[in-house]
């Protein structure tokens, strides 16, 4: 699972960017779309941060 984490990290960062961009693009159709997009983007960004912490803390766990 640990060797797949960099791939998961990239996917989470792309989802974060997609949430923010999607919310910004849809702001004319729904009044709160931009806030929802930022919320989803921040959620995926925090998940990416936890995935990165898990990847980089693995050196201490395995040794």
Instruction: Tell me how long the chain is.
Output: 63
Give domain status of residue 62, yes or no. Answer: no
Give domain status of residue 7, yes or no. Answer: yes
**Tokens of residue 60, six digits:** 């201490």
Count how many domains the chain has.
1
Contact 22, 37 (CB under 8 A): yes
Residues 9-49: pLDDT tens digits? 888 889 899 988 988 888 889 889 989 989 998 998 998 88
Give domain status of residue 14, yes or no. Answer: yes
Q: What is the pTM of this model?
A: 0.73
Give domain status of residue 52, yes or no. Answer: yes
Give domain status of residue 63, yes or no. Answer: no
Domain that holds residue 23: 2-56
């Amino acid at each position: 699972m640990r060797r797949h984490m960099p791939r998961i990290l990239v996917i989470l960062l792309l989802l974060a960017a997609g949430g923010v961009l999607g919310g910004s693009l849809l702001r004319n159709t729904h009044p709160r779309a931009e806030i929802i997009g930022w919320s989803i983007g921040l959620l995926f960004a925090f998940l990416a941060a936890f995935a990165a912490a898990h990847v980089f803390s693995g050196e201490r766990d395995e040794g």
